[in-house]
Amino acid sequence: MRFLFCLGLLFNSLVMFSQEKPVLNFNLDFEKVEKGHPVGWSVFGSEAYAVSLDSGMSHSGKYAAQVELKGAFPDFKAWGYTVPGSFSGKKITLSGYVKTENVTEGYAGLWMRIDPNVAFDNMNGRGAKGTTDWTKYEVTLDMNPERTKQIALGGLLVGKGKMWVDNLRVTIDGTDISAVSPYVRPLLPAEKDHEFDAGSGISITSLTDIQRANLYRLGLLWGYLKYYHPVIAQGSLNWDYELFRVLPGILAASDRSAADQLFLNWIQKVGSCQPGAAPEVKLEVKLRPDLDWIKGMGFEASLADQLQKILGCARKDEHYYVGFQGAGNPEFKNESAYASMTFPDAGFRLLALYRYWNIIQYYFPYKHLIGEDWKAILMEFLPRVVAASDETAYTLVMLELIGRVHDTHANVWANNPVLSQYLGRHIGPVEVRFVQDKAVVTRYYDEAVAKEAGLQVGDQIVKVNDKLVSDIIRERLKYTPASNYPTQLRDIGARLLRTNEQTIKIFAKRGRKEFTCTVKSITLAASRRLQSSDSSFRLIRKDVAYIDNEALKRSHLPKIWPLIKDTKGLILDLRNYPSDFPIYDLTGYLMPKETPFVKFTRGSITDPGHFYFETQLSVGRNNPDYYKGKVIILINEISQSSSEFHAMAYRVHPRATVIGSTTAGADGNVSQFYLPGGISTMISGIGVYYPDGSETQRVGIVPDIEIKPTLDGIAKGRDELMEKAIELIDSESSRIQKR
């Protein structure tokens, strides 16, 4: 299961790469070579394998591609090639020749995948084993031209040994792919509707009580129909623009009864659907959709009956507006950003609210952790979205709405120009973090500028431009989305000295001394030049090893492990964000056996709002020569997402201890989407849980021993977590020696 999951993730990485740089000239025989590498081909998988072109062992032509296990721990390695676009046809076949030498504990073969998630085969269970001469193999998949974006393929080796692959060919219904015309999908009705491209035509100055109530019910109905009605799922209607067609009538409705009749007419106009039995799902349910409002909203009987019938419609596992990516996180498709609307009109602002609210309602895996009634938040934000008077007010109200889901992945991203101007395009010359609940200078962005003003590491900032830091915190909390309070403070600290001015007035403390200084601001770009260590490993002492997870590459491990394996302690520093994904490689060295460490939930297209426990993953492998020393894992509020996932994996080592403070509490793959006005945002897209089902979202990785930096430690340049880690290693080693 671990191999298949990782291979899926790596295939997705290959897909993302090839979308940016598509290969247009087929090179399936490896004969086109530049700088020793076959044009258009990439490799992925464990660094324990060596890959090369072999000019002395080809099946035909000059070259064959080769894979050979060189490291201690077998995993997998693959050659990959991507054919962009889609093609007409029913069956696609990849054929090619494979030669093997001493392949054990796995197999060698071909693989092919139609993306996104159309079909996949990697010859698992029927690949070549042992030592074999050149043999022809085939992989055939059913095609779906309408859904296909590209076709990824290649050869792979799983386990031990050596393999060669050569002379690949792709045919569609028996015809070579080079002779098959690309598939051009006809435009759907939703894509032909351009009536409101220039604006909704909706203008609202204020809302009456009846308008607010009817718009609230419209928001519920619009999202329910969007995700539950099969006609909308087919792309038969531009559902954004259907909102603008029904809005004028709803705003003009004199009472709820009149609005209900408009709702009923609207639904009937969408069309009918065939009833169908709910699909049988044998997976454990984590979350169920909140649909009690259908009966409890007090709709007219005929409308309530119509909504209930839609609930029972037969739905396919395909949808115009939503799909799932390889890891199980939702992909929100065909959601126009309307980026040219710097300040969307009232209709588009309502669309932004409805779009965001319903994505959370049906596809946020942590909706149960929001902590308040999500429907009440819809009612609360209706008048606020309508009342937004300019692009800054609109952006801030959407930012505040995003903050209410309490997800560190959820924010306004992509250097939003409105938000950048609001926060400030310059910053002070120092990094500020909250230490013992105080805003403290922890590093220099520009040491000369800081010291010129008299500011130094360890200083506590009390006021910024005559405003108390405590007041700034209160003002900014609602505009600082995060899963927990420590992470909100992390982000407030990072922005505390943002400004549009050339100077910043600071009132600070240094020990018992209080002082005021005026410091020059620097550009944000200059502040980002602060570099982390580029070294992934060092020996703190000959018996204590240290790995910086931010700098660690999978390729480093075979080289550094001989220096680590006999030490009495290993410190894994996860107070950062990893630049690679070495989990399975490193735990292969660390663990004595395969051990479960995580399981996931994913949502549903046929039953929106349902989330099911689906996949459990393990790390490690049977390894009697596993690492026997003490493992210390360092975490803090900077440890987020992938870093938290790494901590979960490393924590299952039999002698692991996690020290530090609670992490950012946002794990799992993200899903990006846009709101009108070009606002880019994301959510955590899959639920990440410990094997026993306990939560990680909002909770974060809770340390075994809580250790936080102190003001004195910062001022003296000490790393108190590192000091504690070494102390624990020495203490445990001493106890073991006394036994």
% of the chain exceeding 90 in pLDDT: 88
CA nearest neighbour of 53 among 69, 37, 32, 35: 37
pLDDT at 527: 85
Nearest alpha carbon to residue 545 among 620, 629, 477: 629
Q: What's the pTM value of the predicted model, to 2 decimals?
A: 0.90
Could you give the CA distance from residue 395 to residue 388 in angstroms, rounded to a whole number? 9
pLDDT at 615: 81
Locate the DSSP E strands across 188-266: none
Q: List, as own/partner pairs, every contact residues 434-442 make where C-beta atoms lie below 8 angstroms and the sequence separation is at least 24, other chains included.
A: 434/486, 434/489, 434/490, 434/492, 434/493, 435/708, 435/709, 435/710, 435/711, 435/714, 436/708, 436/710, 436/711, 438/711, 439/469, 439/493, 439/496, 440/711, 440/714, 441/714, 442/714
The half-sphere exposure of 738 on its side-chain side, counting CA atoms within 13 A, is: 6
3-class DSSP state for residue 18? helix
- CA-based end-to-end distance of the chain: 40
**100: three-class secondary structure by DSSP:** strand
Name the amino acid, one letter, at 629.
Answer: G
The pLDDT value given to residue 20: 36
Dig out the tokens for 618 from the structure: 């393990």
The β-bridge relationship of strands 285-287 and 611-619 is: antiparallel
Dmax over CA atoms of the chain, in Å, equals 84
Q: Which CATH superfamily groups domain 2-179?
A: Galactose-binding domain-like (2.60.120.260)
Fold classification of 419-527 (topology level): Pdz3 Domain (2.30.42)
* HSE value, Cβ hemisphere, 13 Å, CA-based, for 318: 10
Q: What is the DSSP string of 221-239?
A: HHHHHHHH-HHHHTT-S-H
The pLDDT tens digits of the residues spanning 379-438 come to 999 999 999 999 999 999 999 999 999 999 999 998 999 999 999 999 999 999 999 999
Q: Quote the mean pLDDT of the chain.
A: 93
SS3 content of the chain, % helix, strand, coil (to 5): 30, 30, 40
In 3-state terms, what secondary structure has residue 431? strand
Backbone phi, psi, residue 513, to 5°: -85, 135
Q: Are 329 and 669 in contact (CB under 8 A)?
A: yes
Q: How far apart are CA 631 and CA 651, in angstroms?
A: 8
Tell me which of 3.30.930.10, 3.90.226.10, 3.40.190.10, 3.20.20.70 is the CATH number of domain 537-738. 3.90.226.10
pLDDT at 290: 96
Q: How many CB atoms lie within 10 A of CB 252?
A: 12
d(CA 469, CA 473): 6
Flag whether pLDDT at 532 surpasses 80.
no
What does DSSP say about strands 687-689 and 595-602: parallel, antiparallel, or unpaired? antiparallel
Compute φ and ψ for 252, nearest 5 degrees.
-90, -10
Residue 11 pLDDT grade (very low, low, confident, very high; cuts 50, 70, 90): very low
Per-residue model confidence (pLDDT) at position 737: 74
Task: Using the Cα atoms of residue 343, residue 344, residue 350 and residue 352 in order, give the sign of their dihedral.
Answer: negative
Residues contacting 91, CB < 8 A, separation 6+: 140, 141, 142, 143, 172, 173
pLDDT value, residue 530: 66
89-103, 115-129, 267-281, 471-485: segment of lowest average pLDDT:
267-281
Q: What is the pLDDT of residues 320-344, one digit of tens each?
A: 999 998 889 999 999 999 999 989 9
Asked which of 11-25, 44-58, 129-143, 174-188 is least confident by mean pLDDT, the reply is 11-25
> In angstroms, rounded to a whole number, what is the distance separating the alpha carbons of residues 85 and 512?
67
The model's pLDDT over 274-318, given as tens digits with 9 standing for 90+, comes to 998 777 788 899 999 999 999 999 999 999 999 999 999 999 999
Q: Across-strand partners of 380?
A: none
Residue 172: pLDDT over 90: yes
The CB-side HSE value for 341 (13 A sphere, CA atoms) comes to: 24
Rounded Cα distance, 186 and 146, in Å: 9
β 630-635/569-573 pair status:
parallel
Q: Which residues pair with 441 in a beta bridge?
A: 432
What integer is the mean pLDDT of 516-533?
Answer: 85
**Residue 590 C-alpha from the chain's centroid:** 27
Q: How many CA atoms lie within 13 A of 78 on its CB side?
A: 29
Distance set, CA 621 to CA 230, 460, 590, 650 (Å) = 45, 48, 9, 13
Region class of 394: left (phi > 0), else alpha (psi between -120 and 50), else beta = alpha
User: Which pair of structure tokens corresponds to residue 65?
Assistant: 């591609």
Q: Please say whether the beta carbons of 692 and 353 come within 8 A.
A: no
Q: What is the C-alpha to C-alpha distance for residues 396 and 350, in angstroms, rounded to an integer? A: 15
- pLDDT the model gives residue 501: 97
Q: Are 571 and 190 in contact (CB under 8 A)?
A: no
Q: Where are the domains of the chain?
A: 2-179, 197-414, 419-527, 537-738
Contacts of 42 (CB under 8 A, 6+ apart): 14, 17, 79, 80, 81
> How remote is the C-alpha of 152 from its chain's centroid?
22
The mean per-residue pLDDT over the stretch 466-494 comes to: 98
- pLDDT at res. 487: 98
DSSP state of 60: S
Please tell me the predicted confidence (pLDDT) of residue 533. Answer: 64
CA angle 113/177/127 to nearest 5° reads 40
Model confidence at 211: pLDDT above 90: yes
How confident is the model over 84-120, as pLDDT tens digits? 999 999 999 999 999 999 999 999 999 999 998 889 9
Residues 544, 569 contacting (CB under 8 angstroms): yes
Compute φ and ψ for 594, nearest 5 degrees: -70, 130
Res 733: pLDDT: 79
Q: What is the DSSP string of 242-277?
A: HHHHHHHHHHH-SSHHHHHHHHHHHHHHH----B-P
Given a cut of 90, whether residue 680 has pLDDT beyond it is yes
Contacts of 336 (CB under 8 A, 6+ apart): 240, 674, 676
For 570-581, what is each residue's pLDDT tens digit? Answer: 999 999 999 999
Q: What confidence score (pLDDT) does residue 9 get?
A: 41
What are the pLDDT digits (tens) for 690-734? 999 999 999 999 999 999 999 999 999 999 999 999 999 999 877
